[in-house]
């Protein structure tokens, strides 16, 4: 499990909570590493990982899969010739509300700091992807992101329990390989746990590189992928149609520094014995829960369907949980009420989305918990299927309203 990570030009550094013998980290990079080190010692490149070292697999799309075994050493550094360009804060156009903040752990030794609502910066670049690098801290604030003048759905949030440097505050892939402008405007707002509105910007990364088959695409599976979240058994579950469902372990959720993300987001115990409306209740008995989490599913080129499986197992009825669902950054439904749509608690309901095109070989499903009468509630999901072609069925989602009325979402 990762403790922290720093994404720099030509170098990635990360640390883990532990490094038990035989465990392997897997990274997908845009370049083949020239050197991999653990605990300050260079690791040997190997054809297999029967011993400490690293292995590299080339993908058709131009990326590389790097597998690293580092028994007993929790600090890892991967370096190589990165195709991206790194622009220091000194080369970015800031308005008068920003000031210089020096720190040895910043890229180039400094960042720019602002906290006033309306403070802004902009940078013009040519490429197909861009990343904003900065700090997170206990006094971190929020900012809106504009790409080519269009405000993005997700803001920057610089809050973190512990100060961290050279963090990816925002990224955008899949852009046309042409000129673009990224602009940041501070909200003057912060997370309820934060002590301030501070936004630190350290650098901008961008790249126009692409693989022979299109950047990042070509190496993913094209058949159906099915997963149950929170399901901790070591064997797949076979449903009533004979389909295999794997334990869903790979998703992203911010749970805070030095926390156990499994304990905080997995329902590993059955949350309901009886689940109505389905011939496969086992698919709906577990699940994952968090205020905001993203599931990235790697796929090959093509058109896919996404099936999200839900059951309300924590609340007794409608208007107690709302969920907003994004697929590849497109909002599919807002304030989705699981219980209202299913016709009650502990009843199965599926949402189906068709004609989903991957971006850079990935279909990203993001679920965000909405507020109920001003109180934050977590998003949930029990199971997920991503597969080629069209899928039938799926419910018409009903929206949760704080007033207590649940209507069909539009």
CATH code for the domain of 110: 2.60.120.260
Q: Within this chain, do residues 277 and 386 fall inside the same structural domain, yes or no?
A: yes
* Per-residue pLDDT reduced to its tens digit, 194-209: 999 999 999 999 987 7
Domain end, chosen from 39, 64, 80, is at 80
Range of the domain at 186: 85-207
Q: Within this chain, do residues 65 and 171 fall inside the same structural domain, yes or no?
A: no
State the Cα–Cα distance between residues 325 and 336, nearest whole angstrom.
Answer: 8
Q: Which residue has the higher pLDDT, 221 or 145?
A: 145
Q: β-pairing, 225-229 with 244-248?
A: parallel
Residue 218 has pLDDT above 90, yes or no: no
Residue 317 structure tokens: 């009825």
Whether 134 and 167 have beta carbons less than 8 Å apart is answered as: yes
Whether 213 and 88 have beta carbons less than 8 Å apart is answered as: no
Q: Within this chain, do residues 170 and 311 fall inside the same structural domain, yes or no?
A: no
Provide the whole-model pTM: 0.53
Three-state secondary structure of 303-349? CEEEEEEEECCCCCCCCCCCEEEEECCEEEEEEECHHHHHCCCCEEE
Residue 192's contacts (CB-CB under 8 Å, 6 or more residues apart) are none
Q: Within this chain, do residues 302 and 276 fall inside the same structural domain, yes or no?
A: yes
Average the pLDDT over 287-295 and give the result. 95
Q: Within this chain, do residues 276 and 371 fall inside the same structural domain, yes or no?
A: yes
Min mean pLDDT across 135-149, 153-167, 189-203, 391-405 is at 391-405
Average pLDDT over the chain, rounded to an integer: 90
Residue 370's contacts (CB-CB under 8 Å, 6 or more residues apart) are 321, 322, 323, 324, 334, 335, 377, 400
Question: Does 38 reside within a domain?
Answer: yes
């Amino acid at each position: 499990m990762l403790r922290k990570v720093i994404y720099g030009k030509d170098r990635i550094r990360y640390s883990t909570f532990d490094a038990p013998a035989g465990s392997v980290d897997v990274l997908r990079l845009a370049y083949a590493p020239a050197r991999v080190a653990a605990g300050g010692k260079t690791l040997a490149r190997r054809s297999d990982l029967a011993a400490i070292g690293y292995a590299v697999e080339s993908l058709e799309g131009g990326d590389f899969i790097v597998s690293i075994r580092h028994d007993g050493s929790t600090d890892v550094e991967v370096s190589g010739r990165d195709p991206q360009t790194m622009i220091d804060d000194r080369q970015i156009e800031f308005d008068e509300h920003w000031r210089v903040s020096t720190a040895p752990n910043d890229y180039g030794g400094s960042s720019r700091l602002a906290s006033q609502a309306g403070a802004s910066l902009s940078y013009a670049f040519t490429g197909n992807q861009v990343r904003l690098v900065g700090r997170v801290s206990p006094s971190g604030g929020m900012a809106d992101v504009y790409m080519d003048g269009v405000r993005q759905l997700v803001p920057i949030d610089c809050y973190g329990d512990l100060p961290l440097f050279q963090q990816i505050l925002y990224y955008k892939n899949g852009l046309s390989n042409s000129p673009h402008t990224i602009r940041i405007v501070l909200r003057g707002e912060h997370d309820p746990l934060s002590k301030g509105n501070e936004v630190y910007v350290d650098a901008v990364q961008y790249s126009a590189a692409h693989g022979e088959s299109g950047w990042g695409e070509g190496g993913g599976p094209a058949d159906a992928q099915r997963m149950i979240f929170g399901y901790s058994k070591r064997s797949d579950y076979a449903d009533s149609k004979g389909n295999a469902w794997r334990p869903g372990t790979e998703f992203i959720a911010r749970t805070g520094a030095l926390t156990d993300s499994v304990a905080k987001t997995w329902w590993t115990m059955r949350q309901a014995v009886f689940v109505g409306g389905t011939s496969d209740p086992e698919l709906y008995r577990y699940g994952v829960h968090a205020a905001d989490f993203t599931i990235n599913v790697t796929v090959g080129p093509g058109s896919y369907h996404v099936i999200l499986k839900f059951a309300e197992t924590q609340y007794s009825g409608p208007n107690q949980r709302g969920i907003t669902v994004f697929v590849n950054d497109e909002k599919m439904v807002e304030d989705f009420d699981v219980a209202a749509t299913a016709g009650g608690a502990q009843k199965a309901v599926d949402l189906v989305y068709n004609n989903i095109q991957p971006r850079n070989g990935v279909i990203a499903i993001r679920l965000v918990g909405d507020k109920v009468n001003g109180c934050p509630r977590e998003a949930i999901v029990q199971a997920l299927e991503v597969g080629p072609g069209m899928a039938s069925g799926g419910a018409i989602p009903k929206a949760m309203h704080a007033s207590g009325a649940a209507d069909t979402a539009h």
